[in-house]
Structure 1
Amino acid sequence: MDLNDEDLIKRVVDDGDQRAYAQLVRRYQSQLRFSLRQLCNGDQGLADDMAQEAFIKAYKALPAFRGDARFSTWLYRIAYNLVMSHKRKNAPDVDQEAVDRAQAQESVEEAQQLGMARDLNSAMGELSDAQRQAVHLCMQRGFSHEEAATIMKLPLGTVKSHVNRARAKLQTLLQAWREEVASG
């Protein structure tokens, strides 16, 4: 029998039921790892490490979970904070690694991907970090603007602006690239 998040959390907090927490982990690990890969610029190893750390941190903090937001929103906020903290701590090293990964990834993409998917990935790279994160949370992960604002710790209006500006920029970039391909 699948219990809802609230019941599972109650079992973990009240009874120390580790199987209940394992069920929460199974429920959210794929989504969280996918989202973290986006935030970690495709670095699957780092994303997996951050996901594991987020689940451990969430487990330890579970008694403090108030239920003001969904468990998934709270978990994503923990993971987001961990990634941002990691990026700040490793800023000098990350830049060169990011360049190397981008060059390697670009070579692989040129060999493996053609068409719209490649154009969309390239266009996403043109967005600011905040725009890319807002688009990822709202358009790819299905979070509401309010939930994304909570996760990103930004005002609701700012998240909406990031999504709208990103959408407009993506449309402009993709249209320009389509015209370039058609004429060239």
Structure 2
Amino acid sequence: MKEREFDAGDGELIAAFVRGDEKAFEQLYGRYKRQLYGFLNNLITDNPAEVDEVFEETWLRVLDKLPGYRDEGRFSAWLFRIGRNIFIDRLRKNRNAFAALNLDAEEAPALPGPASLEPDQELELGEVGSVIAEAVGKLPVEQREVFLLRQQELAFKEIAEIQGCSINTVLGRMQYAMKSLRRLILEIDRGGIVT
């Protein structure tokens, strides 16, 4: 039985949790905790305490809403959408931060501070990883979000659902993000690390 549980898909784990199996939720949490934390850490670049709070609040909301979850798509897209919405709700509560970010604008200003990769990724990539993380942190919020969600292997259609826009808008944001990243990496890399 344990082998089947280990190989269980997200839908099976969710159904088991709804039936009262708490270990099924532990498996879901274990499967997605690093991805969610990495996404939030790169989205909320200037406040590690905020990342932790949004991360915890996301899992609490997932626990609350999981019995009503319909397995129409990937669980990870639903999870990231919840985390993103919590972050935006928190920004809206702080009117000054929301006004400065102007999240509804196509070219929203970037959040201050460099983005950081997950610790093991940064060690692997070294200086190149630091340059890339800093460049990602300078992208406008919506472009950064598309880039980070693609790094989590979400489809453009899923990202469009998360951001509440058309797939063409998401594709455009990704295209702008890639152009901006090329320019930003060259600007940041004055020491010649990236060739």
> Structure 1 residues 93 and 133, CA, compared in 2 at 3 Å: closer, same or farther?
closer
**Residues 160-184 of structure 1 deviation map (CA, whole Å, 9 limit, x = unaligned):** 1000111112223334555x657xx
- Give yes or no for contact 1:39–1:83 (8 Å, CA) kept in 2: no
Q: What's the Cα RMSD here?
A: 2.7
User: Which runs of 5 or more residues in structure 1 are unaligned?
Assistant: 106-113
Aligned to 1:160: 171
Residue type matched to 2:184 in 1?
A: L
Question: Aligned to 1:84, which of 58, 83, 88?
Answer: 88
User: Which runs of 5 or more residues in structure 2 are unaligned?
Assistant: 101-110, 117-125
Q: How does 1:32-181 map to 2 (within 5 A)?
A: 32-92=36-96, 102=113, 115-138=127-150, 140-175=151-186
Residue type matched to 1:44 in 2?
A: P
How far apart are the structure 2 equivalents of 1:81 and 1:123?
24
Percent identity of paired positions between Structure 1 and Structure 2: 28
Q: Are 2:34 and 1:30 aligned?
A: yes
Residue type matched to 1:120 in 2?
A: I
* TM-superposed deviation, 1:133: 0.7
> Structure 1 residues 34 and 125, CA, compared in 2 at 3 Å: closer, same or farther?
closer
Instruction: Please give the TM-score of this superposition, normalised by the length of structure 2.
Output: 0.74
Q: Are 2:9 and 1:7 aligned?
A: no
> Structure 1 residues 16 and 161, CA, compared in 2 at 3 Å: closer, same or farther?
same
- Give yes or no for contact 1:32–1:51 (8 Å, CA) kept in 2: yes
* TM-superposed deviation, 1:27: 1.2
Rg larger in 1 or in 2?
Answer: 1
* TM-superposed deviation, 1:69: 1.3
- Give yes or no for contact 1:132–1:166 (8 Å, CA) kept in 2: yes
**Residues 142-169 of structure 1 deviation map (CA, whole Å, 9 limit, x = unaligned):** 2111121122222111111000111112
Residue type matched to 1:63 in 2?
A: P
**Residues 91-131 of structure 1 deviation map (CA, whole Å, 9 limit, x = unaligned):** 43687xx76xx39x9xxxxxxxx854343334324321111
